[in-house]
Structure formats: structure tokens, C-alpha cells
Structure 1
Amino acid sequence: MTKKKAAKPMTTAQQLGSIVKSARQIMRKDKGLNGDLDRLPVLTWVMFLKFLDDLESLREAKAELEGKEFKAAIDAPYRWRDWAAKEGGITGGELISFVNNDFTVRPDGTKGEGLFAYLRELQGENGQMDRRDVIATVFSGLHNRMLNGYLLRDVIDKVNGIHFNSSEEMHTLSRLYETMLREMRDAAGDSGEFYTPRPVVRFMVEVTKPQLGESVLDPACGTGGFLVEALSYLEGQCATVEDRAMLQGSSLYGGEPKPLPYLLVQMNLLLHGLEYPQIDSGNSLRFPLREIGDKDRVDVILTNPPFGGEEEKGILGNFPDDMQTAETALLFLQLIMRKLKRPGKGSDCGGRAAVVVPNGTLFSDGIGARIKEELLKNFNLHTIVRLPDGVFAPYTDIPANLLFFDRSGPTDEIWYYDIPTPDGRKKYTKTKPMEFGEFADCMAWWERRHENTFAWKVSASEILKYDEDGTLFAANLDLKNPNSLEALEHRPPLELLESIAKKEKQIFSILDGLKEQLSGGHE
């Protein structure tokens, strides 16, 4: 008889993939769940508590070796190891009662608060914010929607097989988690604004160049894509223990009012190594602009604010009377301008921002025009990158743009860069998304700017249009590429000839200069 070969042990990645697949199958059997947006939160909060318990175990062991006191964020019998780690443990109605009820019989046989009720009431010690506050805020708006305790037990047993006790497993889970976030985006439909394609995020971070010691904010952070990318960028600048402490304690800030994305951004940042994510769970627009002072301002803002939505009247009252609009993107644009540091207030050139906006923001008039007038007169809108169609597929076909501005002074001229789609394609799609490498030409141009097929510049004075009484009536930033084939086809013949003659003069001037250099070298 031939001996069967022993099955190779599964890699961490395979194990995690298998767990997610099995958990999905289990959760589809629960009639209390409707669609992927219900299923994914169940898996997420279960993974969050398992990850947290493993992290606490590692810290406890480290503290013991160093002879230091360790204070757990979650006490018994609410730790994962107390109620979830034993396979086939508390299950059925008993498990659902422990998780969901305000008061229940706990796994150790004592009576007390249910799991979610306990977690929602956690507080940092001595009035100091710590991980307990993060956990409490995460679970404050979260509900367990899985009503079948036996199926929930199966999910818990699957997740219990993950052990977050090595950097390799952390990185593997981070990649898996990114996949889950993409699935969340794909299932979100009209709510998919909280996910921005990673190539776009990375490009915005790399050209904005946040520096260690600067404060970085995303006031509409969703699942945390910008903050994770900024964290990775800043980690490369850490050389000492003090640098890392600065990164951990005073570098990254966010705001996200929706309970589910709030949970996701917390876990996403924890998985990427940020020990205490500083994410505000309230609406970033809730503060009157006039009350935002220098202490509230930051060095860098990176964000993709929601657009197309409408804010309640109480929020609109936080903005100047002539700047109140129902369009959320325009409200966030005002907030971003207000939140940037002024020159001389801890920054020589003032704060800087990179913001995703829809086309409507560029050509809006009325209140939109007045907001853009303030942007051009009081800020330096130095660059607008026009993204190709389909970058945000499948949620919207609305073209998007990237605004880059700072507080170094008023806008003199605006550079535009029109990123083309790859040859042979009209637009990006969900199955063929944009890749980071397609920003390469724009990144090379960024440092040494010149007009070319994709880049052109305009004077700010050409954007702001006033009538005879000096009243603003237009501020259109939605300018088409004058160098595109489509634009050339519609230009008058005389204008084309003048343009060709001008370019020929430039070429001959360059050639004359080269001749002088060459002849000078032979003397």
C-alpha cells in the first residue's frame, strides 16, 4: 500500500481566506441578515475582538518580562479568551443573550451586563483617552444582526483559528482586510463614497509629501485609506524611538460619523500599527467655522469628502449666510480651507490640502462660485488633476478631479494635468481599474512643470468673472484640455496656424541655444 502524503499545513493567507469563505457560507444561512452589508459587520466585529485579545496578550507578556504592571482594556469575563476561545463553548440562545442583552447570565455563570452593553460603557482611566474609549465608541453604534446563536458560534470558532501574534500574520490580515473593504465598497451601492481607489490615494499622499512632525487630517475618513497610506509614508521617516512616538501620538487624525465605517477605520489603523487611532465619531461639519481657531488647524488635509448628499439645517447654520449650501462637497471644501494652518502659525507656508471633488464643484455657480472665489483669493490653488472616466466605477460615472492647494498666498496661476486612459480604452471599469503606475508621467511632471499634451496652465484672473458693477457671476474651473485632439479639431484654422508658428519659434530658439553650447565647447 502506498502511504498518503501528509497534507501540507495551510499558510496564514490560505487559512484566513478559508475562514472568510466559510464564515460567509455560515452567515448566508442566517435569515436575520439581509445582503453583504449585514454579513460583513458580523465578521468584522468578531475579528476585531479576537485581534484585540491577541494584541492584549502580547502586551501583557511583554509587560511581565519587563516587570511592569499591565492594565487590560477589557476585563474578564468579557475578553475573547473568556467566552469565545473554547471551541463549542457558549452557543445558541445563551450566546445571543450574552452578546445582545443589556443584562444577562454571563459565560462564567454570574449575572451582569451583556457583552455589547459592557463594551459601550468602557472609559479611559483618570479622564485620559485610551483604547477603552476607542472600543466604546466603536460599539456604541454597532448591533449584532446575526440572530442564530449556533451559526454565530460557528463564525466565532472559525475566527478563533487566527492568531495575531506575528508581524507576518498582521501583514497578511491587513491585505485580507483591504479585500474586505473593497467588498464593502462593492456592496455599498450609493453609500460607496467612503472608499477611494488605493492608486488615487497613494498618488495624493506622495505628491503632498507629509512630513514627520506635521499633523495630517482626513475629516471624512471612511474606512481610513488616506490615513493608512499617510501612516505608511511617515513610517519611512522614523529613525528613532522619539520619531515613532511622535508618529503614534500626534500625527494622524480623522473624522467618521457612520458606525460601520468608524469600526472599519479603527481596525484598519490598528492592523497597520497605529496603537491609538484618533478618529472623531461626530460629523466634522458640526462646528461653526468662526469657532475654528489656530489650535484646531492642521498641516496637511487629505480627503475625499462625500458629495451629492444634503446636510440638515442645523449644520448649514455653522457656515456664513452667503456660503450655506445643501451640497456636502462644498461645505467640506469650506471646512478644509478653514482647517489649514496659516503661514507663521507653526508653518512657514501654511497648511496644504489634496481633495477629491466631482466635476460639479468645478463649474458650480452662485454659492459655489463664491466659495471658489475665496479659494482663489485666499489660497494658492496650484494644481488640478483631472481623472479619467470610470476611476470610481462601479458607483458613479461622474468625472472626478483632484484639487491641490495651500495657504502660501493667493492663486496666481493654476496648472491642469489631464490623466489619459490607457491606449485602446475609453474608461476604467470595476474589473479593469486604474493602476498606480498610470500616475507615473504626472508624478515626473510634478517636479519639473511644462506645458505638454496633457498639461496646461491658466491665470486665476481668467477664472473669476465679474460684471460692470464688480459682482462675481462666474468661477468656472471646469476647463478642457486645449492640447487634446478634440480641442484642436474645433479651433479656428488661423488660431491653429498661429499656434504652430509659435511652437516652431520655440523649437528654433532651443536649437540655436544648443548650437551655441556645442560651438562654445569646441573653442
Structure 2
Amino acid sequence: MASPTKKAAPAATSRTRLASLIKSARDIMRKDAGLNGDLDRLPQLSWLLFLKAFDERVEQVGPLRDPDYRPAIEKPFRWQDWATDPDFSGKELTTFVNNELIPHLAELKGGNAEDPRNVLSTIFKDVNNRMLSGSLLRDLVNTVDQIHFTSTDDIHTMAFVYESILKEMRDAAGDSGEFYTPRPVNRFMVQQSFLKLGESILDPACGTGGFLVQAYEELKDQADTVAKLRRLHSDIRGIEKKPLPYLLGSMNLLLHGIDAPRLVRFNALDRMRDATAADRVDVVLTNPPFGAAEEQSVVRKFPEAYRTQETAWLFVHAILDQLKKGGRCAIVLPNGSLSDDGVGARIKEKLMKECNLHTIVRLPQGVFAPYTPIPSNLLFFEKTGPTEEVWFYEVPLPEGRRGYSKTKPMRFEEFDGCVDWWGGEDREGREQSEFAWRVSANDIKKAGHNLDIANPHVGDDLAHRTPGELVDDLLQAEDEILSLLKELRAELGSSA
């Protein structure tokens, strides 16, 4: 490997320039026989972007912040050592990357939870260079090296473009059962959790880090000293079971300014069941997997009366033990879970005995389209004592809409009515309306802890509508369904 040529200080990267570089990178990867589709190409691009960003954001800045800074990656494995040499190409490059670079990074060990070596090793234990052509890999590295992360503007620009990459990643992963929380939903959940600086915040099913990034963005401007910012970085925590979302989430947090993301790659249910009092947190924000079967060895860690194959309820049970006294949670659950009996009902009973389940927000049909049409709910509860009453709020669809789609998703502004009704952090002044109603804990208990409680005002509205109005609504619904089917056909045609 030749000595790298010293480069001039990088210029700011415009959004247009960055989008062009990302397109060039993806065009290069399409030529390589080892990469098949976005589920191969996007991870390949992400781990290279991660190393480039880590080099500029951490390794090159570290000595300026701390004279005693010790590089996390030693020579010759730093990006600046191998990636900037234009003559280092072909089989020599692929051999180095496959047999030396990736194994070295996978074996790094840090002395504490905040040591970036731990993040690097966890990521690269599951990274493979899938590119077969050393010359194409050289072209890809050269393209990534033109992307810079040195200024705040560069970070914001790259974060914006990376979000679009993540969205495509989510679209590609949707067929394999990965359902991601739309940004308006996680933004609303974070906002209505009224986060405070100094609180520990956990997403035990963090995926690509949407909740954690939103929480960080909500709080970072309050961290007006280096010590406060460092504390905030350590308070943003996530657990993710699968290697690919873990890589993407780590990259996402790094791009948003967290140099050593506190993400753990582990089965969250297993980890939370083994947690101690010292591991408890102030806030949990999450959209756990639902409908999946969990490993029996993990299920057996739960008390016998609460053992179930429904992962969503196992997450709720684990979260109850993970929260500090006075802690709070915002969680996504599907409609079907809310009416569960058996173990589901027992976990709902435990939830309402230990926590104040103060609000359930019922989302409109299709918010999670195109991943799943299953209607979902947002549950907000606090570990402050038993529930006395539950408020429900049904977010209405925009006028004239029957659902959402990939091309017409939900917008954050559609939560405005709920935010106005909420009553601030103390939830004062709430009133019943056509969208809001409350149910006593006693009534819920009598109904077998069924939380799938429909809006009581909808029936009254239908009873006073004329047959002509109902027929008009049915025709409009048919038109929208036909439109959605045409969109789906067009998408299937374009991906063929």
C-alpha cells in the first residue's frame, strides 16, 4: 500500500452534489456481480460511509479536543491510511479489506460502554465485503471519499440524504416483515413524552434509530455545555437484535452528532429480563415487533403466568420492569393486541395496576402502509401508580381520505388536533369530543381488560346520516381503493 496523497481541506458538500455522489456510488455497485439488489448494496455503502464519517468526525477531531486522545483505529486500518490511496486497488484491495481490515475492526475491544471500539467491533462482526471486483470497490471508495462530514452543514446535508437511503432500505425490507415507524409518528410520540435533559431514554427495538434520533434532536439545544452534551449522548440508548438495522442505526446516530452511539446488539427481551435496578431508565420510546414467535429460552425467562409467543406483550411486560419509579413509556401496539384475552389480558392488568395508562391514541387506517395495513395505537403510561381512567383520542383521516399509501403518507400536522386536546405535560383541561372519550379503569376491568374500545361517537354519527350519504361514502371508498390498486400495479411494474 503506497503512502496516501495529502489532500486539500474539503469544501462543503451541497445537497445536490451529495445526491449526485450517492447516485454514482449506487451505479458503481450495480455493476458488481457480488451485490444483488438494495438489500446488498445499501449495507455495503453504509459501512463504508460509517468508516469515512468515523474518521472525519471522531479520529481527526479527537486530538483537537483532547491532547491525550488515543485513536480507536490504529494504522494502517484508518480510512485516511488505506482509502485515500488511488493506486491501492484490484485484488490487493479486496484481500486487504476481506482478510485484514474487517477482521481487525471486528476484534476491537473498548474499556467502557462509551468507547467507540465497542461500536466498531459490534458492527464489523457482521459486516462482509460483498463486492467481487477490486477495481469497482476502488471506484466506490473513491466516490465515498468525496463525501465530507467536517462541518455542521455537511452533517445536516448527509443526515438528510441518509434518511432517504434509510427510507429505501425500509421499503426494501418491508417484504421481510420489518415495519418501521413513520417519522410523523415517532416525532409525535417523542414530543408528547415531554423529555427532559438528564433523563435516560431507551428504545429496546431501535431498528435504524428513528426514536433515538428524534429524542436527541428534541434535547440537544438544551445541552449548552460539553458536560451536558456528553451526558445526553450517554442517555440516548438502544437495543437491536438484527445486525443490519444495528449498522444503519449506528450510522444514523453518528451522522446526527453522537460519536459513540450507546447501541447494543442483543435480543432486547433477553437483555431486559437480565437487567438490574441500575439498568432502569426514565423513558422508553418504542415500536416493538408484533405477531412474531420468540425463542422458548427467552419466553421461559418470564413468569409462567405471563409467557406468550406474542412478542409485543413480552415487550410490554419487560418494559414495566425496565422503567424507574416515575418513569414513562410511549409504545406502538396493534389493534388486535388490545383485545387479547389470556396472557395478553393478564399483562394489561399488570400494566394498569403498576402504571397510569393515561392515554391511548388510535391511529387512522394505513399509517404503516405499505408495510402493513394493520391499524395501530399509541399507548402512553407512567409508572406512578394504578390507572383510574384511560383517555382515548382517535386521530381522524384528512377530509376525503380513506387511508394512507406509500405515495400519500401521514403528515405530522395531522396530529395538531390531538396536541391541542392533550393539555400539555400535566394533561389538564381535557374534554370529551367527537374524537376523544374516557373510560374508567373499573369498566375496562369488567370487560376483561379489553382496550380495543371504539369511538362511542361514531355510531351516533352514522345513525343520523341519510342512505344517499352512506352510498356516496361507499362509492368514494371504492374509488380510493381502485386508485391504491393502480398505484400498487404501477409500483410492481416499475420494480419488475
Q: TM class by shorter-chain length?
A: 0.7 to 0.9
Query: How far apart are the structure 2 equivalents of 1:389 and 1:244?
Result: 39
Give the aligned partner of residue 230 of structure 1. Answer: 215
Q: Deviation digits for residues 468-501 of structure 1, max 9, x if unmatched?
A: xxxxxx32111111112x454359xxxxxxxxxx
Give the aligned partner of residue 107 of structure 2. Answer: 121
Give the aligned partner of residue 278 of structure 2. Answer: 295
Give the aligned partner of residue 74 of structure 2. Answer: 75
Shift of 1:191: 4.0
Give the aligned partner of residue 334 of structure 1. Answer: 317
Moved over 6 A (4+): none
Which secondary structure does the structure 2 equivalent of 1:464 belong to? Answer: helix
1:278 and 2:262 matched: yes
1:260 and 2:262 matched: no
Query: How far apart are the structure 2 equivalents of 1:338 and 1:49?
Result: 37
For 1:149-188, what aligned pairs fall within 5 Å after superposition?
Answer: 149-188=134-173
1:475 and 2:449 matched: yes
Of residues 19, 22, 25, the one that matches 2:21 is: 19
Shift of 1:70: 2.8
Shift of 1:57: 5.0
Shift of 1:61: 5.4
C-alpha spacing 1:372/1:178, structure 2 compared with 1 (3 Å): same
Query: How far apart are the structure 1 equivalents of 2:15 and 2:122?
Result: 30
Q: Deviation digits for residues 258-303 of structure 1, max 9, x if unmatched?
A: 11111111111111111221111111111474x5443221111000
Of residues 362, 367, 382, the one that matches 1:386 is: 362
C-alpha spacing 1:29/1:203, structure 2 compared with 1 (3 Å): same
Q: Deviation digits for residues 390-421 of structure 1, max 9, x if unmatched?
A: 11111100001000001111111100000011
Of residues 225, 231, 244, the one that matches 1:240 is: 225
Give the aligned partner of residue 365 of structure 1. Answer: 341
Shift of 1:11: 5.1
Give the aligned partner of residue 206 of structure 1. Answer: 191
Which secondary structure does the structure 1 equivalent of 2:202 belong to? Answer: strand
Aligned AA (2:78) = R
C-alpha spacing 1:465/1:434, structure 2 compared with 1 (3 Å): same
Which secondary structure does the structure 2 equivalent of 1:210 belong to? Answer: coil
Which secondary structure does the structure 2 equivalent of 1:285 belong to? Answer: helix
Query: How far apart are the structure 2 equivalents of 1:13 and 1:464?
Result: 54
Task: Kindly indicate whether the alpha-carbon contact (under 8 Å) linking 1:418 and 1:481 is maintained by their aligned counterparts in 2.
Answer: yes
Aligned AA (2:209) = G
Give the aligned partner of residue 379 of structure 2. Answer: 403
Which secondary structure does the structure 1 equivalent of 2:77 belong to? Answer: coil
Task: Kindly indicate whether the alpha-carbon contact (under 8 Å) linking 1:194 and 1:221 is maintained by their aligned counterparts in 2.
Answer: no
Aligned AA (2:367) = V
Which secondary structure does the structure 2 equivalent of 1:417 belong to? Answer: strand
C-alpha spacing 1:143/1:194, structure 2 compared with 1 (3 Å): farther
1:325 and 2:324 matched: no
Which secondary structure does the structure 1 equivalent of 2:270 belong to? Answer: coil
Give the aligned partner of residue 43 of structure 2. Answer: 41
Of residues 456, 464, 467, the one that matches 2:445 is: 464
Shift of 1:33: 1.6
Which secondary structure does the structure 2 equivalent of 1:205 belong to? Answer: helix
Shift of 1:150: 1.7
Task: Kindly indicate whether the alpha-carbon contact (under 8 Å) linking 1:417 and 1:456 is maintained by their aligned counterparts in 2.
Answer: yes
Query: How far apart are the structure 2 equivalents of 1:56 and 1:254?
Result: 21
Task: Kindly indicate whether the alpha-carbon contact (under 8 Å) linking 1:174 and 1:271 is maintained by their aligned counterparts in 2.
Answer: yes
Query: How far apart are the structure 2 equivalents of 1:242 and 1:74?
Result: 25
Shift of 1:129: 4.7
Task: Kindly indicate whether the alpha-carbon contact (under 8 Å) linking 2:187 and 2:214 is maintained by their aligned counterparts in 1.
Answer: yes
Q: 12-21 vs 310-319, which deviates more?
A: 12-21
Give the aligned partner of residue 92 of structure 1. Answer: 90
Among all aligned residue pairs of Structure 1 and Structure 2, give the percentage whose two residues are the same amino acid. Answer: 53
Normalization by structure 1: what TM-score? 0.83
Shift of 1:53: 1.2
Which secondary structure does the structure 1 equivalent of 2:33 belong to? Answer: coil
Query: How far apart are the structure 1 equivalents of 2:384 and 2:135?
Result: 60
User: Structure 2 stretches of 5 or more lacking a match?
Assistant: 1-10, 424-428, 465-496
C-alpha spacing 1:56/1:479, structure 2 compared with 1 (3 Å): closer
Query: How far apart are the structure 2 equivalents of 1:31 and 1:487?
Result: 61
Greater Cα radius of gyration, structure 1 or 2: 1
Query: How far apart are the structure 2 equivalents of 1:295 and 1:77?
Result: 39
1:352 and 2:328 matched: yes
C-alpha spacing 1:361/1:18, structure 2 compared with 1 (3 Å): same
C-alpha spacing 1:394/1:434, structure 2 compared with 1 (3 Å): same
Aligned AA (1:237) = Q
Give the aligned partner of residue 478 of structure 2. Answer: none
